[in-house]
């Protein structure tokens, strides 16, 4: 399933095993491949010493076992002559009069290369040094396998001849436990996928440590990491094996198998080489060590089994809300951490500026509500009373009674001061000065209200010796859904790094953690969460309903946050983003709708860079920020034509 979008399908296969019966084990491995055939994997990794079994002990020194292993290998090669997947097979192999614990890369009945194990454990329950030599003892760069000489060594990176992104390297079990695993060197040498053939037995707590090793190595190497351990049918004389399988990508476990499954089992995941390439290109810590003099790597070409094509099924989850963890406990932890970053950022800014008070405009919407909650936390850090937060609500032509009442209730429950300043008469005077009729709901009509509000906030801050807290979120900055020099401006914007979908969850989690004494605050927060998102700049309809709903005008925020994450964070093309969004939102939106709003996102993202080029300060809280001083630098006059042209080619 080698994909045009950069996905490669990786499989972990834990076969049944009969210790010291190589031919039977080869058949067990073929059974795994038969199970995997419908998924058409590109890479399949088997456990360490899977042709013999890991627990053969002194039988490894028996010529009979070694000869039968080579016979079983020839049987495996013949049986997989038509198999286009690359297989990583574990077996003992002699070279230069020494015995090595090896990982062999095999494709279409041909051996591509052999990698010996670097770290031979010989402590406590491990006794591999009795049978195997370490890779450092290798004397030649080739090894005899049957009637052919094949590349041999720990310096091998296997790379697809048609796509340099599709490359992999091999290491074996204990190699991963080393201070500098061989896979680190292989990743710096270009391997995007790291395969580990393992026979890691089970001990209390070991599986969690093993998982963390895999996760961290994939993160440090900016790589995919597939780990396959021997199953429970290995000898249990002293140890028990669990058949632990994992596939990770850049610090995230994509798939993981349950342990102690007695029959054969497989695990499949599509790893994203395009994403990994994007990460490596912009990571200077990684690139600073690429090309060092002692980093000698042999690149061995192979032909991918299939030509790139769009996948019919994707073996990985595509979360609809990439900014919001799906696990409730992790989401709660994330929420607390984000509010801590926001509030301490604001507290430090107030402290360094020598400012005792803050000014905040409240609308009854999500963003200003979160800003108020953050401000209360910041003032608590500084041991200042919440009454030092001066809130202003400024009803205009579109303000609804519902949101106005929400502001009143919110400030009562949080103990901050509130002043109401009706801006309609000031705006009407402004319209007369401009020669505007004051009734046409155009951009001037809307923006005049936003700028009047910001003028009041700035002037009130001057009067009070206070700092104006900004409320605009990351999604609004991406879309340019903010009035230039209106709500676009502030003295410190606490929400600048928080996308809209996460704003909602931060408020919800905050409400859910309130104690029973704060039932009133929880009730108003839940009411705000249930209110349609609106700038409330146009008059309500004849029934008194809100005249504007933001998502009806510019599209659903959950879609835009999805686009933002995958285009900016991952660097994906519009066609790939569309493909992934169609999977993530299959039950909510038609593909044609997604494409329509993706066009809106791309158009607005490029057109409104000029607003982001002069953003006020604000804390970065996640992996995406649009500050021109930090994460995102783009010309203000660039156009989206190239991106839109590619999107136009995609089928609706």
Active site residues: 48, 117, 173
DSSP letter for 517, please.
G
Contact 547, 538 (CB under 8 A): yes
Cα 296 vs. chain centroid, distance in angstroms?
31
Handedness of CA 446, 450, 456, 462 (dihedral sign): negative
Give the burial class of 379: count Cβ atoms within 10 A of its Cβ; 0-12 exposed, 13-18 middle, 19 or more buried.
Answer: buried
User: Among candidates 616, 367, 585, 641, which has minimal Cα distance to 492?
Assistant: 616
**Token digits for 364?**
């009854």
Helix (H) or strand (E) holding 27: helix 22-36
Concatenating the DSSP letter of every residue in 588-619 gives: T--HHHHHHHHHHHHHHHHHTHHHHTTPPP--
Here the tokens at position 238 are 């002293």
CA–CA gap between residue 72 and residue 487 (Å, rounded): 72
Provide the sign of the torsion angle of the four alpha carbons 597, 600, 604, 605, taken in this order. Answer: positive
CA distances from 52 to 19, 92, 327 (A): 6, 8, 41
Name 255's bridge partners.
247
DSSP H helices in 465-569 = 474-479, 500-512, 519-529, 550-554, 557-564
> In sequence order, what are the residues at sequence separation of 6 or more whose Cβ sits closer than 8 angstroms to the Cβ of residue 477?
496, 611, 612, 615, 626
Which residues share a beta bridge with 253? 248
Is-contact 116 152, C-beta < 8 A? yes
Phi, psi (deg, nearest 5) at residue 538 = -105, 150
Residue 85 and residue 104: Cα distance in Å, rounded?
13
DSSP of 187-246, one letter per residue?
HHTT-SEEEEEE--B--TTHHHHHHHHHHHHHHHTTSEEEEEE--TTS--SS--B---EE
**Distance between CA 285 and CA 226 in Å, rounded?**
23
Contacts of 272 (CB under 8 A, 6+ apart): 6, 7, 224, 249, 316, 570
Please count the other Cβ atoms lying within 10 Å of the Cβ belonging to residue 464. Answer: 15
Quick one: tokens of 231? Answer: 């199953």
* CA distance between the termini of the chain: 23
Structure tokens at 604: 């607005």
DSSP code, position 175: G
Q: Can you say how many angstroms the Cα of residue 541 is from the centroid of all Cα atoms in its chain? A: 42
Tokens of 259: 């342990």
HSE value, Cβ hemisphere, 13 Å, CA-based, for 96: 16
């Amino acid at each position: 399933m080698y994909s045009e979008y950069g996905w490669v399908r990786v499989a972990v296969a834990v076969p049944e095993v009969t210790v010291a019966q190589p031919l039977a084990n080869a058949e067990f491995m073929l059974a795994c491949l038969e199970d995997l055939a419908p998924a058409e994997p590109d890479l399949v990794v088997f456990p360490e010493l899977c042709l013999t079994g890991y627990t053969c002990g002194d039988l490894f020194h028996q010529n009979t076992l070694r000869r039968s292993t080579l016979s079983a290998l020839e049987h495996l090669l013949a049986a997989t002559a038509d198999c286009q997947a690359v297989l990583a097979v574990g077996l003992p192999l002699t070279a230069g009069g020494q015995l090595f614990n090896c990982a062999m890369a095999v494709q279409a009945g041909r051996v591509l290369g052999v990698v010996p194990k670097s770290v031979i454990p010989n402590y406590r329950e491990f006794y591999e040094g009795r049978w195997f030599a370490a890779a450092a003892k290798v004397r030649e760069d080739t090894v005899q396998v049957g009637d052919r000489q094949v590349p041999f060594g720990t310096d091998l990176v296997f790379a697809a001849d048609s796509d340099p992104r599709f490359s992999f390297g091999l290491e074996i079990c204990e190699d991963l436990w080393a201070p500098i695993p061989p896979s680190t060197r292989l990743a710096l040498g270009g391997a995007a996928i790291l395969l580990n053939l393992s026979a890691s037995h089970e001990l209390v707590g070991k599986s969690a440590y093993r998982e963390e090793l895999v996760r961290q190595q994939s993160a440090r190497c900016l790589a995919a990491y597939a780990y396959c351990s021997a199953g429970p049918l290995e000898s249990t004389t002293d140890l028990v094996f669990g058949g632990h399988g994992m596939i990770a990508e850049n610090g995230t476990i994509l798939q993981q198998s349950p342990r102690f499954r007695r029959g054969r089992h497989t695990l499949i995941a599509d790893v994203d080489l395009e994403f990994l390439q994007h990460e490596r290109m912009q990571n200077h810590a990684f690139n600073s060590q690429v090309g060092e003099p002692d980093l000698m790597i042999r690149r061995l070409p192979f032909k991918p089994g299939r030509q790139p094509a769009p996948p019919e099924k994707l073996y990985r989850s595509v979360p609809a809300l990439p900014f919001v963890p799906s696990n409730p406990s992790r989401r709660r932890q994330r929420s607390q951490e984000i509010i801590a970053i926001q509030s301490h950022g604001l507290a430090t800014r107030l402290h360094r500026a020598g400012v005792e008070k803050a000014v905040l405009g409240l609308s009854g919407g999500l963003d200003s509500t979160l800003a108020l909650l953050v401000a209360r936390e910041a003032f608590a850090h500084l041991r200042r009373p919440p009454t030092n937060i001066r809130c202003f609500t400024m009803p205009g032509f579109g303000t609804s009674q519902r949101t106005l009442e929400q502001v009143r209730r919110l400030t009562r429950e949080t103990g901050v001061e509130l002043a109401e300043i009706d801006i309609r008469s000031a705006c009407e005077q402004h319209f007369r000065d401009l020669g505007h009729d004051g009734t046409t709901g155009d951009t001037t009509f809307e923006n005049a209200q936003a700028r009047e509000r910001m003028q009041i906030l700035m002037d009130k801050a001057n009067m009070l010796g206070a700092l104006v807290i900004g409320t605009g979120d990351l999604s609004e900055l991406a879309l340019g859904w903010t009035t230039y020099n209106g709500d676009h401006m502030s003295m410190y914007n606490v929400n600048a790094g928080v996308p809209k979908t996460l704003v909602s969850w931060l408020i919800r989690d905050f409400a859910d953690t309130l104690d029973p004494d704060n039932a009133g605050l929880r009730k108003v927060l839940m009411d705000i969460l249930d209110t349609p998102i609106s700038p409330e700049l146009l008059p309500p309809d004849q029934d008194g309903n809100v005249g504007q709903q933001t998502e009806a005008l510019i599209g659903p925020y959950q879609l835009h946050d999805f686009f933002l994450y995958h285009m900016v964070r991952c660097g994906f093309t519009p066609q790939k983003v569309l493909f992934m969004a169609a999977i993530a939102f299959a039950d909510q939106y038609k593909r044609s709708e997604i494409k329509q709003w993706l066009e809106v996102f791309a158009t607005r993202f490029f057109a409104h860079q000029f607003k982001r080029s002069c953003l006020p300060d604000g804390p970065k809280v996640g992996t995406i920020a649009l500050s021109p001083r930090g994460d995102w630098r783009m010309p203000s006059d660039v156009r989206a034509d190239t991106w839109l042209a590619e999107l136009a080619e995609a089928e609706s």
